[in-house]
Structure 1
Amino acid sequence: MSVPSAAIGAQQAPAVPAGLAIVVLALLLSIQPVTTDLYLPALPALTRGLGADVAAGQLTLSALLLAFGCSQLAWGPLSDRFGRRPVLLAGLGLYTLASVGAVLAPSMDLLVAWRTAQGLAMGAVVMCARAIVRDLYTPLAGARAMSKALTGLGLIACLCAPLGGLLTEWLGWRAALLVLTAYAVATLALVALRLPETLGQRNPRALHPATLVRTWALVLRTPTFWAFSLLTTASYGGLFTFLAASSFVYLDVLGSSRTQYGLTLLSTAAAYLLGTLLCRRLLARHGLKRTVAIAGLLSASGGLLMLLAAALGWHSVAALLPPFYLFMLGHGIHQPCGQSGAVGPFPQAAGVASALNGFMMMLAAFAIGRWLGGALDGTVWPLVQGVALWSLLLAAIAWTLVQRHAPQESAHAP
């Protein structure tokens, strides 16, 4: 079975078997949680092992994500000019090289440098994945396809967290980073051998300065882009606050072991996976706008219940983790809807739209990482307050901007 030509929209891309498209998208999108979740259980250990402080350890994450976000601004136009396939191959090749460098890094400064290179490469991979969705699908069909791919991401993320904890316990933090190299090589081989070019019509002027300015202006003055990009940014902001703070809060404040912390991350990934499955059911029954509104309720409930538990003095894993599951259910709905919605209006500039969307998310992540580097104070409050703030902002966007600017499309559109 191949992706039907009716789903391709304005571009006539080659037919890609539906199963292959979902598998490749899942692997490409999963490179982001693989790069972060596998090493989060090792973050305190590598910080101590390289003789660095907490702020320097946070920089291995925040620098990676800043490079990830900024690099997409270059990769996007390059993919519109030369196609998705060459940009993917270049990105995966660079990522593999940077992964080897990170494993062998003898100092925190060199580890930060190699993680930054990983971020640059990761920008090409994830940006192309989002653009490929627009190459092959209409916006609502893209949300459904994205939810399937992100279900695969959830399954991979479920394995990453406990695997990272076990590897760190048994073999040390460098073993956790070594797995990234194996993942990159396998994904590179699949793309090189099986994935054809999906961009039906390259834009030979995509890199011309005047064309770039016009394209960026077109994307940035489109309300639909802003509605969905702010949605994905707020959703990722809440998740990243948890990811960046939880290793220190759960391990050092709440007393979890690395294995227990790995299982904690596994359970949050499982909640996200359930959210992607729920997303497809809600889209089929209610359409895009109402689905996002329901997810906004889940997000706000999770953040407020976590804040309430902390305010009542219930500073334990059993009290703080269950409310975050509600947030992750909402995240599993917001991301496929938001990522496909942000690029939906731009069939001829999906690379640029995807890049700008990704840049916004990673700019927020970098700011959060820098804030947490100074805010982590040996209590649960930075994590709790950050998640609560993003959850309320997310709900407000879901209930206002998305309802106003999402495309009018039947829940049962092809």
Structure 2
Amino acid sequence: MSPPFVILILSLLLGLQPLTTDLYLPALPALTKSFGTVPAQAQLTLTALLLAFGLSQLVWGPVSDLVGRRKVLLAGLAGYTVAAVGSTLAASIEALVLWRTVQGACMGAGTVCARAIVRDLYAPEAGARAMSKGLSGLGVVACISPPLGGLVAELFGWRTALMLLALFGGATLFVVARRFEETLRERRPAALRPAVLAGTARQILGNGTFWAFALLCTSSFGGLFCFLASSSFIFIGLFGFSSTAYGMVLLSLSACYIAGTMLCRRLLVRIGVTRAVRVGGLLSLSGGGLMAALLVAGVNDPWAVMAPAWLYMLGHGIHQPCGQSGAVGPFPQAAGTASALAGFLMMAVAFASGGWVGAHMDGTASPLIEGMAFWSVSVALVAWVLVRRVGPRHEPAAPSAAGAASRQGCA
């Protein structure tokens, strides 16, 4: 597979998660009204999906180390597409939550394999650059999703927005089936044996580099999810935005995220992983801190939420490539399992964040702001303390011929 095609595959696989969450967010209030339910129950269509997404990665990761990335991708994408159709046709909120849970479980295959593919093909530094390009593609998907979802929901209803997920899943399945070649060079026949699984998990969970980078992307995602879980009700219900206008809000955040991934690539070349992450920590803290300061000052305006969130998303665009590639970097022989554990940690935190925000919704923007402020401090602490401690071990050594070749392919 050519390097550009690898980046395309990464973009499609990594784009599944933001598309599945962001596309229907503008339709969430209409969906809530359609089923005659309350926001907290409607939010289960998001939080249950992400919990299943996180748990499923613990299975998909070791399985991909055993049978390869291709078979796992084919099975996961097929299940995702079927579940998307089921979500579209759901007759009750309970059925919708069930189908979205299945969809989240199948979606885990794509994300786990995307991170593992990066480790299969690239050394850690080149992997961070490849991941940043794949996550730029994710950002493009995330840019398109909210305004498209808002427009489709206004014109055709929320069910049509969910049907678009089935079309995307089917298209990704087609590309993988036709063009994707197996990247796992050495399979692990004993990967699913309990003793081997336990030993591999102990090795990964006992590694300081894994924890530093896994917590980096987890903390950053926790803040983003506070925004995703509550912003539709705040911007549409509190600030009076239309579904389409709210979609444009999410588009602006995705554009800042793409800018962050581009900034990440420049910083990696110029100052390395550790210092790039420290810059990202400053951006994250500035965004969350400014948002909290405006809340304390009594500023109740959409711009008081949006402008600081743009800063936060610039930092998020740095933390995700570095964090996701850094967490699997030390484990070339167990990249699937390491990816699964990192992914589970991210989704467990997202589920907890969404639950906290849902329980504290009071008709104001305070829960969103308080949650993002908390996670911005957490991101900064991880970036400036934990990543700094393990940074020298993660920084690349002098390039070998093979390493230079992989970097040229990534570039």
| Match 1:374 to one of 353, 359, 371 | 359
State the partner residue of 1:52: 37
| Match 1:352 to one of 313, 337, 344 | 337
* Contact residue 229 and residue 358 of structure 2 kept, 8 A: no
Letter of the structure 2 residue corresponding to residue 229 of structure 1: A
Deviation at 1:411, TM superposition (A): 8.7
State the partner residue of 2:158: 173
Letter of the structure 2 residue corresponding to residue 409 of structure 1: E
State the partner residue of 2:408: none
Taking only aligned residues, the RMSD between alpha carbons, in angstroms, comes to 1.0
State the partner residue of 1:237: 222
| Match 2:130 to one of 130, 141, 145 | 145
| Match 1:328 to one of 289, 305, 313 | 313
Q: Structure 1 length as normaliser, TM-score?
A: 0.95
User: Which residues in structure 2 correspond to 1:188-267 (within 5 Å)?
Assistant: 188-267=173-252
Letter of the structure 1 residue corresponding to residue 273 of structure 2: L
C-alpha offsets along residues 221-267 of structure 1, whole Å, 9 cap, x if unaligned? 00000000100110000000001110111111111111110000000
SS of corresponding position for 2:12: helix
Runs of 4+ in 1 over 3 A off after TM superposition: 410-414
Looking at structure 2, the residues matched to 272 and 54 of structure 1 have their Cα atoms a distance apart, in angstroms, of: 27
Are 1:409 and 2:366 an aligned pair?
no
* Contact residue 328 and residue 339 of structure 2 kept, 8 A: yes
| Match 2:271 to one of 266, 279, 286 | 286
| Count of residue correspondences | 399
* Contact residue 65 and residue 191 of structure 2 kept, 8 A: yes
Q: Structure 2 length as normaliser, TM-score?
A: 0.96
* Contact residue 69 and residue 182 of structure 2 kept, 8 A: yes
State the identity %. 58
Deviation at 1:373, TM superposition (A): 2.0
Deviation at 1:410, TM superposition (A): 4.2
Letter of the structure 2 residue corresponding to residue 56 of structure 1: Q
- Return closer, same or farther for 1:163/1:352 CA change in 2, 3 Å cut-off: same
Looking at structure 1, the residues matched to 35 and 181 of structure 2 have their Cα atoms a distance apart, in angstroms, of: 43
C-alpha offsets along residues 383-403 of structure 1, whole Å, 9 cap, x if unaligned? 000000000110000000001
C-alpha offsets along residues 100-122 of structure 1, whole Å, 9 cap, x if unaligned? 00000010000000000001001
Looking at structure 2, the residues matched to 220 and 154 of structure 1 have their Cα atoms a distance apart, in angstroms, of: 29
Letter of the structure 1 residue corresponding to residue 116 of structure 2: A
Letter of the structure 1 residue corresponding to residue 109 of structure 2: A
User: Which residues in structure 2 correspond to 1:20-39 (within 5 Å)?
Assistant: 20-39=5-24
Looking at structure 1, the residues matched to 181 and 153 of structure 2 have their Cα atoms a distance apart, in angstroms, of: 38
C-alpha offsets along residues 275-331 of structure 1, whole Å, 9 cap, x if unaligned? 000000000000000000000000000000011111112111122211110100000
Looking at structure 2, the residues matched to 132 and 50 of structure 1 have their Cα atoms a distance apart, in angstroms, of: 41
* Contact residue 284 and residue 316 of structure 2 kept, 8 A: yes
* Contact residue 254 and residue 315 of structure 1 kept, 8 A: no
Looking at structure 2, the residues matched to 339 and 305 of structure 1 have their Cα atoms a distance apart, in angstroms, of: 27
Looking at structure 2, the residues matched to 358 and 56 of structure 1 have their Cα atoms a distance apart, in angstroms, of: 25
| Match 1:89 to one of 74, 80, 96 | 74
Are 1:122 and 2:114 an aligned pair?
no
SS of corresponding position for 2:41: helix
Are 1:385 and 2:358 an aligned pair?
no
* Contact residue 78 and residue 206 of structure 1 kept, 8 A: yes
